[in-house]
Amino acid sequence: MMQGLGKALLFDIDGTLANTDPLHLKAFNQVLGPRGHTFDHARFSRELQGFANVSIGERFLPDETLERRAEILGEKEQVFRTLVAGQIEPLPGLMALLDRADAAGVPMVAVTNAPRLNAELLLSGLGIAHRFKTLVIGDELPHGKPHPLPYLEGLRFVGASAAASVAFEDSRSGVQSATAAGIPTIGIRTSLGDADLVGAGAVASASAFDDPALLSRLARAMAW
């Protein structure tokens, strides 16, 4: 395939493939609560959802060393992985969409700010790790979301055109990242509403992957 001519589907993981945000909220409160930071759903969606742990540490643990911030947020991820074990369910319609993309030969990429351990746990827990041509981890790049680099890396890996591809995101920072990379982005309403997602740059939103309007939009975009 010539670079830049292909189509691709690019997916965030947390809150997009599965609704894991309530478990992240619980884990953040368990670890940051004793340090003076507690979060309700609205504050979580504004200040934590979709952000990399480095920036979360800078904001909420400013008096700690970089090493200690990493340890504390590592504790949070361990709590999350314990909570999520055995509780991972795909969003409605996800498996059928992945089957459709595979049958049409459209490559799929996972793009996340989550730590690699979390991302791999979720993909393997859903039984879909093999579906993705690559897994892009924002923390392993010079810039994570909301910078466009993670999505640009995903496109580069599969030789896809941004304009011909579609991304799926559930957070403001994720939508901003994908749209800044030039990818038409569908907001998934697991945590945020249509106004927030479209306000961040999404071309439309859907409650899940079985949304009829989403499926007809994809059929047009992917020509399947």
Longest dimension (CA), the chain: 53
Q: For residues 187 and 171, give the distance between their C-alpha atoms in angstroms, rounded to a whole number.
A: 8
Is 211 considered catalytic here? no
Q: For residues 85 and 94, give the distance between their C-alpha atoms in angstroms, rounded to a whole number.
A: 20
Is 14 considered catalytic here? yes
Which one of the listed residues 14, 21, 170, 211 is annotated catalytic?
Answer: 14
Q: For residues 224 and 218, give the distance between their C-alpha atoms in angstroms, rounded to a whole number.
A: 8
Ordered alpha helix ranges (H), the chain: 21-32, 41-47, 53-60, 66-84, 94-104, 116-126, 149-158, 172-180, 194-200, 212-222
Rg (CA), the chain: 17
Amino acid at 213: A
Provide the pLDDT for residue 67: 97
The whole-number mean pLDDT for each consecutive block of 10 residues of the chain, a chain of 224 residues, reads 72 96 96 97 94 95 97 97 88 98 97 95 95 97 97 98 98 97 98 97 98 96 94
77 phi, psi to nearest 5 deg: -65, -35
Provide the pLDDT for residue 87: 81
Provide the pLDDT for residue 49: 93
DSSP of 30-61, one letter per residue? Answer: HHHGGGT----HHHHHHHTTT--HHHHHHHH-
- The structure's pTM equals 0.91
Which one of the listed residues 12, 170, 196, 211 is annotated catalytic?
Answer: 12
Provide the pLDDT for residue 4: 43
